[in-house]
């Protein structure tokens, strides 16, 4: 028998960075100094106050057992306390909060819990690729909501055709947004909730960057009255606390959706290591500690320097209010893949072509601010050498 992967893998979105990845590896192997703005992975270590709690928790043999279903009760209470403090939203820790092995896990499993084969899943374009893949894995049919710069990178909810809205069971949203860095005002969430009520669909709002903000904390969709009837929000410790490798996140909101997702998870995984969940309690207890405040200021400063430098070079770019991304319009004569390839070939600077996030990302490139300020300045100096 010759092994062949399942056909559904062929229906996933194509991975467009093969060529850039290959060139990056080749350049590295040739000893070139690559300045890599490609990775949405914090460059700073997890804060010591969190790591110390893990050290302690690892020594407790009680944590060696399977973790409690749905997540450690103390962590769920801590997350409810965070929601109360940050958003003035009161959540039932047992019914309205579910601990995840990173938010990607929950975003990815959700359609298995709430979408029937053939049903429509509304997915933004450009977007984090997980939403579309997850819809496909569950046999759902992704339908695109096109985001545009003119529309503030928010979907035009009024433009969704009536029959599409009617056939949809799930809508993914992501604010603050990867890759565009757009932030949604509460008024947008109000409209989305109203639409979800009218057409009886569930909203999955990916809030992975809600705590990576520069002035005011962006809103939670759960602040909209009645939102918990139609919405679940996904939060992550990865970006806020530099914990991408730890795999810890949570879902909050609609109790039926939470219960359905928990059933999928009961059948596939048993949740994150309890010691890591214990460290998660410590993380949120320190959400406004100086370490966290400082990293927000650091990303803000990096964003200002990079945006200013790119503007001087003639890129059209708006300084972000949240996330650690800069989303820049590419100079006219180029498409995003050609521009990214040119920067890599000529000056060993890596950015991500917008088209990799969907066709509507064409014309833009994404820079991740996960490099220190000196490297950013060095990259700008190199970009000034490029012949356009
Ligand atoms: C990084 C990121 C996540 C976080 O994933 P985790 O699984 O929690 O590490 C989720 N959504 C978006 C848009 C992201 O960029």
**What is the SS3 assignment for the chain?**
CCCCCCHHHHHCCCCCCHHHHHHHHHHHHCCCCCEECCCCCCCCCCCHHHHHHHHHHHCCHHHHCCCCCCCCHHHHHHHHHHHHHHHCCCCCCCCCEEEECCHHHHHHHHHHHHCCCCCEEEEEECCCCHHHHHHHHCCCEEEEEECCCCCCCCCCHHHCCHHHHHHEEEEEEECCCCCCCCCCCHHHHHHHHHHHHHHCCEEEEECCCCCCECCCCCCCHHHCCCHHHCEEEEEECCCCCCCCCCCCEEEEECHHHHHHHHHHHHHHCCCCCHHHHHHHHHHHHCCCCHHHHHHHHHHHHHHHHHHHHHHHCCCEECCCCECCEEEEECCCCCCHHHHHHHHHHHHCEECEEHHHHCHHHCCEEEEECCCCHHHHHHHHHHHHHCCC
- Nearest CA residue ID for atom 3, ligand 1: 208
Output the CA 323–ligand 1 centroid distance in Å: 11
**Where do the domains of the chain lie?**
7-45+290-383, 48-285
CATH of region 7-45+290-383, choose from 3.90.1150.10, 3.50.50.60, 3.30.413.10, 3.10.50.40? 3.90.1150.10
Ligand 1, closest atom to CA 177?
Answer: 13
Q: Is 249 in the pocket of ligand 1 (CB under 6 A)?
A: yes
User: What pLDDT score was predicted for residue 333?
Assistant: 83
Output the CA 132–ligand 1 centroid distance in Å: 14
- Nearest CA residue ID for atom 15, ligand 1: 178
Q: Do domains 7-45+290-383 and 48-285 have the same CATH topology?
A: no
Output the CA 319–ligand 1 centroid distance in Å: 21
Q: Is 177 in the pocket of ligand 1 (CB under 6 A)?
A: no
Q: Is 228 in the pocket of ligand 1 (CB under 6 A)?
A: no
- Nearest CA residue ID for atom 14, ligand 1: 208
Q: Is 205 in the pocket of ligand 1 (CB under 6 A)?
A: no
User: What pLDDT score was predicted for residue 1?
Assistant: 66
Output the CA 107–ligand 1 centroid distance in Å: 9
Tens of pLDDT along the chain (388 residues) come to 688 999 999 988 887 788 888 889 999 999 999 999 998 999 999 999 999 999 999 999 999 999 999 999 999 999 999 999 999 999 999 999 999 999 999 999 999 999 999 999 999 999 999 999 999 999 999 999 999 999 999 999 999 999 999 999 999 999 999 999 999 999 999 999 999 999 999 999 999 999 999 999 999 999 999 999 999 999 999 999 999 999 999 999 999 999 999 999 999 999 999 999 999 999 999 999 999 999 999 999 999 999 999 999 989 999 999 999 999 999 888 999 999 999 999 999 999 999 999 999 999 999 999 999 999 999 999 999 998 8
User: What pLDDT score was predicted for residue 217?
Assistant: 97
User: What pLDDT score was predicted for residue 388?
Assistant: 82
Q: Is 179 in the pocket of ligand 1 (CB under 6 A)?
A: no
**In this structure, which topology does domain 48-285 adopt according to CATH?**
3.40.640
Q: Is 244 in the pocket of ligand 1 (CB under 6 A)?
A: yes
Output the CA 208–ligand 1 centroid distance in Å: 5
User: What pLDDT score was predicted for residue 2?
Assistant: 83
């Amino acid at each position: 028998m010759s092994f062949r992967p399942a056909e559904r893998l062929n229906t996933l979105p194509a991975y467009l960075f093969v060529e850039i990845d290959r060139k990056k590896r080749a350049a590295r192997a040739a000893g070139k100094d690559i300045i890599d703005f490609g990775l949405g992975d914090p460059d700073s270590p997890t804060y010591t106050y969190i790591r110390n709690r893990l050290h302690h928790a690892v020594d407790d043999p009680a944590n060696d057992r399977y973790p409690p279903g749905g997540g450690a009760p103390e962590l769920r209470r801590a997350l409810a306390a965070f929601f109360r403090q940050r958003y003035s939203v009161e959540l039932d820790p047992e019914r309205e909060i579910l601990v995840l092995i990173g938010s990607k896990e929950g975003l990815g499993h959700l359609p298995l819990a709430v979408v029937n084969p053939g049903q429509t899943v509304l997915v933004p374009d450009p977007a984090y690729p997980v939403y579309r893949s997850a819809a496909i894995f569950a046999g759902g049919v992704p339908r695109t909501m096109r985001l545009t710069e003119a529309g503030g990178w928010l979907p035009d909810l009024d433009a969704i055709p009536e029959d599409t809205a009617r056939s949809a069971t799930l809508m993914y949203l992501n604010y603050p947004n990867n890759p565009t860095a757009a932030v949604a005002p509460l008024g947008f969430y109000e409209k989305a909730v109203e639409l979800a009520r009218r057409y009886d669909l569930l909203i999955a709002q990916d809030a992975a960057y809600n705590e990576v903000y520069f002035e005011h904390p962006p809103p939670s969709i759960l602040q909209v009255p009645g939102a918990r009837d139609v919405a679940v929000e996904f939060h992550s410790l990865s970006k806020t606390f530099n914990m991408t490798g730890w795999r810890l996140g949570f879902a909050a909101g609609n109790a039926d959706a939470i219960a359905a997702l928990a059933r999928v998870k009961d059948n596939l995984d048993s949740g994150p290591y309890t010691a890591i969940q214990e460290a998660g309690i410590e993380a949120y207890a320190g959400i406004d500690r100086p370490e966290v405040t400082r990293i927000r200021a650091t990303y803000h400063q990096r964003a200002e320097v990079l945006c200013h430098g790119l503007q001087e070079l003639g890129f059209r770019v708006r300084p972000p209010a949240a996330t650690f991304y800069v989303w820049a319009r590419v100079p006219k004569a180029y498409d995003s893949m050609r521009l990214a390839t040119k920067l890599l070939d000529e000056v060993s600077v890596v950015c991500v072509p917008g088209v990799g996030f969907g066709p509507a990302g064409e014309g833009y490139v994404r820079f991740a601010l996960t490099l220190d300020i000196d490297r950013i300045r060095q990259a700008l100096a190199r970009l000034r050498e490029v012949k356009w």
